[in-house]
Chain A
Amino acid sequence: MNIMSEAAVEKALDQKMNTVPYKMIGKDVSVYYGEKRALFDVNLNIRENTVTALIGPSGCGKSTFLRTLNRMNDTIENCRVTGKITLDEDDIYDPTIDVVELRARVGMVFQKPNPFPKSIYDNVAYGPRIHGLARTKADFDEIVETSLQKAGLFNEVKDRLHEPGTGLSGGQQQRLCIARAVAVSPEVILMDEPCSALDPIATAKVEELIHELRTNFTIVIVTHSMQQAARVSQRTAMFHLGNLVEENDTDKMFTNPDDQRTQDYIMGRFG
């Protein structure tokens, strides 16, 4: 076998996209905030080891959909979800499913970097600690180190692991939050506009990181930036007014979308 270049590997991967199995399946997902309906029967499947970008104008329901995937909507008063979402065949809204266990499998990174006001080490070790993933100090040290390495932060912070995580720069804080999510070894990582509070250099780093994380994790990312969606994702889903407009390969989506509204949004005609 000849060794393929990285670009070739990616191209091959992208071509195989349609054969990649589904990690999560959303069927007729609707969300209500009290009387107000925020999502209308969305059918969207998330493929394994793929970056799926959710795009659309503000208030279109993309963040709402993202939050249904690990039931973060449960924390909102009066929020109701109907339809069915499965994660590897398990219905995540089934009463027998424990939400704590679900969130250990589906991690989340938020819009604004939100490290705990504790040391960098404790930030990363917190998840493994509450889930009992490590017992000895050495195990914790290892998890913290590998997680920080996966988040590309280890070399920058290795000498100050016991200093507060809130003392890092915005971009570093966001990568710390990613390391914190990675430390629990989830299967899926949800990212809600992870770069909207970061400068372009920090954004580039996080995007690069998302690219690398894809080999081990299934990633769903909400973004306002078309360019970012085009850069980091293999699949893109476009939402508008609570409806899923189109879901397609990213390349196709940005060159020749099936739906006129997608075309208009990408061209900047509304949004």
Chain B
Amino acid sequence: MTDIASTTVRISARPETAKRDIGIKRRYAAERRFRAYGIAAISTGLFFLALLLWTVISNGYTAFQQTTITLPIEFTEKVVDPKGERATDGKVLLTANYPLLVRDALVKQLGIDASKRPQVKQATDMVSASSRTLLRDMVVADPSIIGKTVPVTLLAEANIDSAFKGQIDLKVDESKRKVKNQQVTWMNQLAEAGVLKKSFNTGIFTFGASSRPEAAGVGVAALGSFYMMLIVLVLSLPIGVAASIYLEEFAPKNRLTDLIEVNINNLAAVPSIVYGLLGLAVFINFAGMPRSAAVVGGFVLTLMTLPTIIIATRAALKAVPPSIRSAALGLGASKMQTIFHHVLPLAMPGILTGTIIGLAHALGETAPLLLIGMVAFVVDYPGSPMEPSTALPVQIYMWANEAERAFVERTSGAIIILLIFLVVMNLGAILLRRRFERRW
């Protein structure tokens, strides 16, 4: 009897312990909540990224199209070389009245009376003033075309370009817009004749700075950026890696190295404009280097990139398992051999990633360049890093200050180009990483 009683007691006791509340529901709820926060955070990020890309691309894709007018230009000797002096005086071909050739061709194409000056003026305003240099360069390159009629593709003036792309509201009163009704009529007439059409805008990649949007491009700025990236890479990678190896592998751990480490970490957080001031004071004022030159920009960006590279490299070196070091040292490898044969190759993917992130950061940097005079109106390609040049982000900054509709789309277009550069660099980083990782 007592046995039975005790078993019943035990049975009834068991469910009670099973009911013990250990907060399972609460824990799962907390986990679900945390996951929801995470998803919300990522969605917000993706939303803003999409918004950014949408704004930039929708504003900028038209910059990669340019309206052109193809006209049969008659290189009449009377205009180009009225006195027949080109054999003796080379300047004649450079100073000839080329716009007159364009005017004649356009008047002929549109069938306007050449004596009606205001009308002719409106017509010639439709073609970019950059046509002058285009025709001049053609004649100088090949004087034998004088006297012949050659079809030449000319750039349309920026407002006509915008109007043709539908960016100018033609319902606005004529006096309040830059494209006149007569010009719109001609534009449609030329478009129907197949003379005026949209084509891929190679100019945005090759041209330099210009106050005429249709003749402005990022070519010169991209070359300046390229020079600077080259200087940054050549200087900051070896200096940064050497500094990291010394600090991580050789330097004794004491107050001084601690201080250096703290300072490097702080330098990574110093606002970039401070580096610009430093560059102005040291490189330009003290060392007497040229203003606006890519070499100074490169030095300043090198200083700015070094902490990033050193921090990334030290982290990569630290991540190499100590067993590899012991293995090499145990075989009698010297410290140098251990580092260069084993540690550095293993740290390479991390070092490369850090370097490319640093470079990408430097590529997009504007503020320090403003202080060393790289906000310059540079028309010609710099022949060397010592010559005045500008940089992609600075070009974007300058275009963003312009008022014309055509510069708005070009600003976004240049941002797209910069973003493509960055994506390509990051892809390169990923590929290099893969390659190095596969080797091990």
Contacts and interface: CB of A to CB of B under 8 A. Distances in A.
17 contacts: A72-B326, A75-B325, A77-B253, A107-B332, A108-B330, A110-B326, A112-B323, A114-B326, A116-B324, A116-B342, A117-B346, A117-B440, A126-B331, A127-B331, A130-B331, A131-B332, A184-B332
Contact of A100 (B326, B333, B342): B333
B341 to A, nearest CB: 7
Contacts of A47: none
B323 A110 contact: yes
A103 B332 contact: yes
Nearest to A113: B323
Given A126-B341, A130-B337, A107 B331 contact: yes
Contacts, number: 65
Interface string A165-185: 010000000000100110010
Contacts of A112: 323
Nearest to B326: A110
Interface in A114-140: 114-118, 126-127, 130-131
B324 A130 contact: no
Tell me which of B323, B332, B337 has the highest count of chain A C-beta atoms within 10 A of its own C-beta. B332
B112 interface: no
Contacts of A57: none
A181 B331 contact: yes
Interface string B295-336: 000000000000000000000000001011111111111100
Contacts of B325: 75
A71 to B, nearest CB: 9
Interface in B322-380: 323-334, 337, 341-342, 346
A164 B330 contact: no
A107 B330 contact: yes
Chief secondary structure at chain B's binding surface: helix
A104 B323 contact: no
Contacts of B440: 117-118, 164, 166
Query: Could you say which interface size class chain B belongs to?
Result: 10 to 19
A85 B332 CA distance: 18
A131 B332 CA distance: 8
Tell me which of B253, B327, B337 has the highest count of chain A C-beta atoms within 10 A of its own C-beta. B327
A223 interface: no
Contacts of A70: 330
Contacts of A117: 324, 346, 440
Interface string A208-235: 0000000000000000000000000000
A199 interface: no
A101 interface: yes
A107 B329 CA distance: 10
A103 B330 CA distance: 6
Nearest to A78: B253
Nearest to B346: A117
Given A72-B326, A110-B326, 20 more contacts: A75-B329, A100-B332, A100-B334, A103-B329, A104-B331, A104-B332, A110-B327, A114-B323, A114-B326, A116-B324, A116-B328, A117-B324, A126-B328, A126-B333, A127-B331, A130-B332, A130-B337, A180-B327, A180-B331, A181-B331
A80 B330 CA distance: 19
Contact of A181 (B321, B326, B330, B333): B330
A72 B342 contact: no
A111 to B, nearest CB: 9
A131 B323 CA distance: 21
Given A117-B346, A117-B440, A126-B341, A101 B332 contact: yes
